[in-house]
A and B are shown apart, each in its own frame.
Chain A
Amino acid sequence: MKKVVAIKEYCVACGLCEVYCATVHSRYPDSVLKAFKLSPQKPVSRVFLEKSEQWSGGIQCRHCKDAPCIAACITGAMYRNRDGIVLLDEERCVQCSTCVIACPYGLIKESDMGGRKVLLKCDLCYQLAESPTCVTYCPNEALIWVEEGETL
């Protein structure tokens, strides 16, 4: 399956991946301005810009083959779809955060949605026809969408 890979040599640490991820998962997926100005809560990104002195990169759920979050989920809300993408069924989720603890990469985040806790993770923008939004909008092509094991 195709995955998003961060190329740390070309990441400019701008954070646009976060801005566009938050937008596309908001009530106004087509407008950054409306997503941030009109959403009742500040839109939250599912990709995380990691920065250090030496490198930076946009990191999101790895959609592991043996996903510990699926095994750990107490309600079966975390599941894998036919394309291999690990998704969270928000209807079944009881916000117990076991998946947050189970994720070896720390890429499932708790977020406060106006007093209501929600768990957010990357869904690889599976509803879009094109590449994930973070890849589409990465200004320096430092996030790429490639088959697993494909050489860069």
Chain B
Amino acid sequence: MAISLKLPEFLVVRDKERCIECQVCVNQCANEAHIWDQDLEQVVSNDVACVNCHRCVVYCPTRALRIEEWKQDFKKNANWDGISIKQTYLQAESGGTLLIGMGNDKAYPIYWDHLLLNASQVTNPSIDPLREPIELRTYLGRKPDLLKNPSAFREELPPQLQLEVPVMFSAMSFGSVSLNTHRSLAAAASELGIYWNAGEGGLHEDLFSYSPKTIVQVASGRFGINASMLKRAGGIEIKIGQGAKPGIGGHLPGEKVEEDVSRTRRIPYGSDAISPAPHHDIYSIEDLRQLIYSLKEATAYERVVGVKVAAVHNIAAIASGIARAGADIIVLDGFRGGTGAAPLRIRDNVGLPAEFALAAVDQRLREEGIRNEVSLVIAGGIRNSADIIKAIALGADAIYIGTAALIALGCHMCQKCYTGKCNWGIATQQPDLVRRVNPKIGRERLVNLVRSWEHEMKEMLGGMGINAIESLRGNRLMLRGVGLNAKELEILGIKAAGE
């Protein structure tokens, strides 16, 4: 057999002074990077199997473990760096597309970090959120053009999604993530008074009690979709694309389609679940309109129907079309959005930053006078409460978090979701690994994360002298750009710091 040119990515550093040979690391590593050697009577490392997920590091009772990068220098070359060389070796050996999990990790500019928020000084008072109420409640959905009867101050509203915090858990399907992950997300969303998105794999029957706070997804594979499921759900989302892999479909390998997944998705046990790249009944805005209204018809016009697209070139025109097709919500998924599996080259090279997509779409819809007809939700790379506040000031109604929610559940961003061997029990269907997410703990951690962001958002709003998130929405005067060129400032529609 020809020698493999693959080198380990990581080095397992085991402090012999501290190791007590308890084998907890051996028990926890699904990749078999730790092996109990009976002859040596000690734990030995198989570095090449390590994915740097930190499961062993966290579980080691004596802190004897640390994972380092496997340092192997190549001759300095600004063009052919080590990563490019190693990826070439890998493809020369496998002959396959490079797969990867989670969002784009390349060093593209993060525009959130180039935006600064305002605060009140002297000329208007700031508000202390501990003394005065600050309103974060948000309604997503079509808003009327005007009050038909202004004296009554009342207007019949189309269906709306009520969020106590402008945050939702974004679509992650049962199949790509475990049922215990879904249980955690569903329970947390219900407790927080927000929505979670069940993704394109349908809704497991154990979670029916959470359906009022569930957004179900109609994607190109149409898995698990039926009339009763649509009626049961709190909201419906048509998924056209996702930020991690715009223009690309999905492929859940048959090995992951175990009994529960097969029943929920309504596909044969062990068969591959293939989501085509496009919806084969949507080749135009008119086709999209047909599906939107089919779904509204199926739910007696009592449900909000959103459309999720990946942020791509010309997104403003696309979003205008979606709004005119009758969508109640448009979700813009930026190129940092996560995924369970994507071709590496697509993930790293296709799409737009969510910040630009949001600014461009909000601006375009305002100019066309149809901004009230849709709510804008953005997804893809939101890391903290400051990102959310900046997104809302740029024009978003609410945001989706996927990666941040998974990190709260224990994800350590090793990007190996596509292997199905998630050591944290999240992106796996292997029964012994699924048990690693205890939904009671998961729910608590997710609730803690969103509640802490809620406090921080109120602090930031209060600092700006704003007592309701409504007053910040699209209020770009609260933003200034730092380190951005004139064109970037123009697209974002903000002034430069100091102006």
Contact = CB atoms under 8 A, between A and B. Distances in A.
Nearest to B22: A19
Contacts of B7: none
Contacts, number: 52
A33 interface: yes
Contacts of A106: none
Contacts of A11: 435
A15 interface: yes
Interface in A47-67: 54, 56
A12 interface: yes
Interface in B393-443: 425, 431-432, 435-436, 438, 440-441
B432 A14 contact: no
Nearest to B26: A15
B121 to A, nearest CB: 47
B301 interface: no
Contacts of B440: 141
Given A15-B27, A16-B61, A10 B438 contact: yes
Query: A11, A18, A140 — which one has the most chain B CB atoms within 10 A of its CB?
Result: A140
A141 B432 CA distance: 16
A9 B28 contact: no
Interface in B1-49: 18, 20-24, 27-28
Nearest to B19: A36
Which of B23, B431, B432, B440 gathers the greatest number of chain A CB atoms within 10 Å?
A: B432
Contacts of B24: 14-16, 19
B441 A36 contact: no
Contacts of B425: 12
Given A16-B61, A56-B432, A142-B438, A33 B27 contact: no
B284 to A, nearest CB: 48
A37 interface: yes
Interface in A17-76: 18-20, 32-33, 36-37, 54, 56
A138 to B, nearest CB: 10
B383 to A, nearest CB: 26
A14 B441 contact: no
Contacts of A13: 27, 432
A104 interface: no
9 contacts: A10-B438, A14-B59, A15-B23, A36-B21, A54-B431, A140-B438, A140-B441, A141-B441, A142-B435
Interface of A: 9-16, 18-20, 32-33, 36-37, 54, 56, 139-142
Interface of B: 18, 20-24, 27-28, 59, 61-62, 425, 431-432, 435-436, 438, 440-441
Q: Enumerate the 6 nearest inter-chain pairs by beta-carbon distance, A residue then B residue, closest first.
A: A36-B20, A10-B438, A32-B61, A19-B22, A12-B436, A140-B438
